[in-house]
Structure 1
Amino acid sequence: MSDSVEAGAPKRRFIVIALVVAVVFAGLVVVAQLTSKKDAPPPTAAPSAAAPSSGVPLGPRPEELSMVRRDPKDPMAMGDVNAPVVLVLWTDLRCPFCAVFNREVLPVIEKEYIKPGKVRLEVTDIAFFGEQSEKAAAAAAAAANQGKFFEFLRAVYAEAPEKGHPDLPREKLVHFATVAGVPDMARFQRDLDDESLVTEVQAATVRAQQLTVASVPFFVAGRSALAGAQPIGTFREYLDDAIKHAAG
């Protein structure tokens, strides 16, 4: 399952996307191929279903991609900064399929891969679904300023609807910060009103689109990309393959 800029897919339909676009990024050309039953849509169209389960090759030197941060003080990352594989995730707090991944798959990945030091997770919160997505991402950044980024994401995704994009007005964002245990709510609300956080979200969204991230959730690990709220079996195969290549 993945959520595109303009449309979603049925909730229980798992989708893998391969993108056909050449992108020059940090001196490296990143190429992914999108396969579907129809012609490839533009970046703003809904993704089609595809079959590969181990990801789509990106290039020979993925470690050079600046999408991987490896900052030990990164509040939007979890896991050993020196883990052999970094799983990069692009997400949107109004994306129902991101909610499915966060609720059903991420806890297993955390237990089996992140806590044992095999994989590090680094999240970039972007806005594909309008102004409320931008403010929600800014709220997540405000929570991250107090070390509660993942708690905030869990709070939002726990209450996500079965279908469609949730309304996330300011009062709900404040509510989710309280649920997440953000310690200084006055500071959170000041940060939430900081327009520079929205500007950062907008810039991150543009960068993601330049990297041909056309839907969320979207993942890069090692040499390949994966899209959609895939079942845990798909992620095990995907991450095991990335770890194998990192060791080689």
Structure 2
Amino acid sequence: MPKNTSKPSRPAAPAKSRKPFLIGAAVVAAAAVLGIASYQASSPDPKPTVNDSAASASASDPAAAGSHPELMKLARRDAKDPLAQGRADAPVVMIEYADFKCSYCGKFARDTEPQLVKKYVDNGTLRIEWRNFPIFGAESEAAARGAWAAGQQGKFWQFHAAAYAEGAKEKGFGGDRLKELAEEAGVPDAARFEKDLDSDAAKAAVKKDQDEAYALGASSTPSFLINGTPLAGAQPMAEFAQVIEAAAKK
């Protein structure tokens, strides 16, 4: 099995966080596929389930698992979203649920995402929408809020690059470190960054993304939805290309 996802050592979330209140019943029915794909991509000894064949297809051949149209409505397509890149009307939207303390998220950010941007975002085929999915404790939460705060000044993707740079995770995401990352990202107003970082708006935005991921059944990072097709883990470029190109043809 691919070992390219990170999972928290603690329980994923309190029960109340798993309530799918952000998603309609039809979406919840399809959403289990993401949870199964996430499990299959990260479990060292997966046990058969009633959906085992679908899970295996989703993890090893995501295109074969097919798209779940109900999940496509999770794409926000907000042209002013600072945590997204690519045309709001792009034919394919990839939603990424990730944690800044996740090593495999960093691998994806450094190795694969730039290729996706160059090949698909730049030509208008793909839009990437980020969702903060902190699952590794207080520093994960802080980094998520920091990324959101940087986004309020148009520097989310620069903060994203700094936080996922080689060796960045090992330095932690304490208060002073977040300020350093904001400076590296070129955030112009340091005082506003600090204010936004600890604001109720930042906490609410992060919780909204986190609850969406938990409601989908995601249990590891990174996890993706590409026009409703689930993909779990920092898979090779070819896996993403297969799903993106199949979605673009529909």
Instruction: Report whether the alignment pairs 1:157 with 2:155.
Output: no
So what's the TM-score if we normalise by structure 1?
0.80
Indicate the percent of aligned positions where both proteins have the same amino acid.
33
**Matches of 1:147 and 1:214, distance apart in 2:** 30
Render the CA deviation track for 1:64-93: whole Å, top value 9, x for unaligned: x2x210001000010011110111111111
Cα deviation for residue 152 of structure 1 reads: 0.2
- 1:158 match: secondary structure: coil
Alignment of 1:180-219 (within 5 A): 180-219=185-224
Render the CA deviation track for 1:124-155: whole Å, top value 9, x for unaligned: 11210001111110000100000000100000
Maintained 8 Å contact 1:75/1:149: yes
**Matches of 1:185 and 1:158, distance apart in 2:** 21
Alignment of 1:1-248 (within 5 A): 1-6=4-9, 25-28=23-26, 29-30=29-30, 31-32=32-33, 33-34=36-37, 35=40, 37-39=45-47, 50-54=59-63, 56-63=65-72, 65=73, 67-160=74-167, 167-245=172-250
Distance 1:50 1:78, change over 3 A: closer
- 1:229 match: secondary structure: coil
Maintained 8 Å contact 1:92/1:125: yes
Render the CA deviation track for 1:202-241: whole Å, top value 9, x for unaligned: 3421221111111111110113100111111111112111
**Residue in structure 1 matched with residue 16 of structure 2 by the alignment:** none
**Matches of 2:77 and 2:199, distance apart in 1:** 26
Render the CA deviation track for 1:142-193: whole Å, top value 9, x for unaligned: 00000000100000100446xx876211111110100001111111111112
Structure 1 or 2: more strand by fraction? 1
**Matches of 1:209 and 1:40, distance apart in 2:** 22
Maintained 8 Å contact 2:93/2:226: yes
Gapped runs of 5+ residues in structure 2?
11-19, 50-55
Distance 1:200 1:165, change over 3 A: farther
**Matches of 2:191 and 2:174, distance apart in 1:** 17
After superposing on structure 2, the runs of 4+ consecutive aligned residues of structure 1 that deviate more than 3 Å are 33-37, 55-58, 60-63
Distance 1:58 1:118, change over 3 A: closer
Q: When the two structures are aligned, how many residues end up with a matched partner?
A: 221
Distance 1:178 1:60, change over 3 A: closer
Relative contact order (C-alpha < 8 Å, sep 6+): which is higher? 2
Distance 1:203 1:160, change over 3 A: farther
**Matches of 1:56 and 1:141, distance apart in 2:** 33
Structure 1 or 2: more helix by fraction? 2
Cα deviation for residue 196 of structure 1 reads: 3.7
**Matches of 2:213 and 2:170, distance apart in 1:** 20
Maintained 8 Å contact 1:77/1:120: yes
**Matches of 1:57 and 1:5, distance apart in 2:** 28
Maintained 8 Å contact 1:4/1:214: yes
Report the AA paired with residue 51 of structure 1: S
Distance 1:173 1:221, change over 3 A: same
Cα deviation for residue 194 of structure 1 reads: 1.5
- 1:128 match: secondary structure: coil
**Matches of 2:67 and 2:241, distance apart in 1:** 19
